Amino acid sequence: MASPSARAQRRTAALLLAPFFVLFAAATLAPLFYAGWMSLFTTRTSGLGFGGTRQVFIGLGNYVTALADPAFRNGFLTIAAYVAVYIPVMIGGALVLALLLDSALVKARSFFQLALFLPHAVPGLIAALIWVYLYTPGLSPVISFLNSGGLHVSFLSSGNAVFSAANIAVWEWIGYNMVIFYAALQAVPRETLDAGRIDGAGGIRTALSIKVPMIRPAIALALLFTVIGSIQLFTEPMVIYSASGAIGSSWTPNMYVQTAAFTRGDFGQAAAASLLIALFAAALSYLVTRFSRSRRQP
């Protein structure tokens, strides 16, 4: 039988954890179950269109419809192309910047940390609007400069939309991940670095053979968050779509959900598509985590 002190500790722990679980249930579990319930129904018009609408139970019909829709499936192909461009540039760039800041060659580290992190402080919608301005012919000084040099690039075209969206996201997030990597580098034992220098390792060899392997958990965490964020891509392409219309309204899975819910008014299919996206994100997160763990094992 538990002692009175043990029971008091459990009560205290339960009291402290209760607000979290209440908020988690209200903000995460309840909407999730509600979306699951909505996904089992569809709205149909009774009579000849004069009898109003009614909710009809169709089971997994919305899931089948979403998976059979080429627009929904093509959204994942867009995400795959976006990830292939975005993740190497963002993770690699953040890692290089963190290694440079951690080297003995850089002065005024605090200034450069703040300067590189500031874009992340700009709200995503504002950042997307700023970049769309820079992408718009006739307004953008960047495009005018390129045109004066004989380079004609349409950043808002369908062929360049993936690169344009990835560029916006890199600008927003590279400083954030750089701070994570730099903080991890500060925890690398100085004795290990000194031992490497005594063995004759130069700056590049020290970075690649000592520092990077020792901060691999931080890199894996940043990669996991980046993958999850990429699957939820919405703001940047939505602003590009509103500015040019070169890409479709269902260009990404989240845009497909928005179109289904607020353009077609099909909330059941939107809920089903949302849950499919969540399942895909969970499966991909699991694979990334397993891959990261396997790479850390000797």
Q: Which CATH number fits the domain that encloses residue 92?
A: 1.10.3720.10
In a domain, 16, yes or no: no
In a domain, 21, yes or no: no
In a domain, 56, yes or no: no
In a domain, 36, yes or no: no
CA dihedral 26, 27, 32, 33 (to 10 degrees): 10
What pLDDT shows up at residue 30? Answer: 92
In a domain, 10, yes or no: no
Q: What is the count of structural domains for the chain?
A: 1
The total of other beta-carbon atoms located within 10 Å of residue 189's CB is: 10
Q: Is 134 exposed, middle or buried (0-12, 13-18, 19+ CB in 10 A)?
A: middle
In a domain, 4, yes or no: no
What pLDDT shows up at residue 106? Answer: 67
Q: What is the pLDDT of residues 93-125, one digit of tens each?
A: 999 999 988 876 667 777 778 888 888 888 888
Residues of the chain below pLDDT 70: 1-4, 45-52, 104-106, 294-298
Regarding beta strands 41-45 and 53-57, do their DSSP bridges make them parallel or antiparallel, or are they unpaired? Answer: antiparallel
Determine the structural domain holding residue 224 and report its residue range. 61-296
What pLDDT shows up at residue 25? Answer: 92
The predicted model scores a pTM of 0.86
In a domain, 38, yes or no: no
Q: Which amino acid is at 137?
A: P
CA distance linking residue 86 with residue 218, whole number of Å: 18
In a domain, 23, yes or no: no
What the block records as the tokens of 219 is: 């890199």
